[in-house]
Each structure stands twice: as structure tokens, then as C-alpha cells.
Amino acid sequence: MEENYMEIIREESGERLVFFGVSGRVDALTSPQLEQELLSALAEQGKFCVLDLAQVDYMSSAGLRVLLMCKKTAARNKGSFALCGLQESVRKILEMVGYLPLLEIYPDRLTAHAAARKPLEG
């Protein structure tokens, strides 16, 4: 695998839920592609987008910026943005910069899918 390689797979589940499976590195070179994909989905009202990071072992500050932008965009459009499948290296980065309490995080896709099926709180 190339050093700055990243692949994104989009999977829709029903009208509201979109999973993004990412593999590789999320850094200054790859984060613009991720940002474009995620913000495109979150632009729709009421979307629940889940970013599966199980295959991501490195995230730079550029990737962290994308996460916050997605959270803000989701809130503005009455949607939700969550992460799942964090590897320990990425979890530690999120913890060091103080993002863990700010983001909705699920252990895996199954748990995230169950959360998305709950009715929206008014």
C-alpha cells in the first residue's frame, strides 16, 4: 500500500443512514477527499453518517479538522455524525486532543446501526 493511500467505501442503509468505510491514512493529502465525501452526505437534512475507522491506523490534524467540520455540519442540518471501529492509535490521538467527549463513538458498525434506528429526539 502506498504511504499516502486512502480508500473510501460508501454504503447506504435505508433513507437516513450512510456508512463510510475508510482504509489507509487520513492525512493532509487524503483528508480533502474524505471531507468532500462526508460533507456531501451530511448536506442532506436528517442524515446519520457513520465513519468506520477500523482500517485507519493514522490520522493527522487535517483529518481531525474534517471530523469537527462533519459534526458541525450534521448538527446544522439536523443530522448526526458518528465514528465506529476506532483503532487504539486513532483513539489515543482523539483523546490527546480532547475530541473523545465531543464525538459520538460506537465500538462497531452493528452498534452504530442500532443507534441510528432509534427515533430522532425532538
Q: CA-CA distance, 47 to 23, in Å (whole number)?
A: 22
**Angle value at C-alpha 60, between 12 and 38, nearest 5 degrees:** 20
| Dihedral (CA of 19, 22, 26, 30) sign | negative
Look at 12-16, 43-47, 66-70 and tell me which has the smallest mean pLDDT: 12-16
pLDDT, residue 1, reads: 46
Q: What domains are defined for the chain?
A: 6-111 (3.30.750.24)
pLDDT above 60 for 71: yes
Alpha helices (H) in the chain, listed in sequence order: 31-42, 61-76, 88-96, 109-117
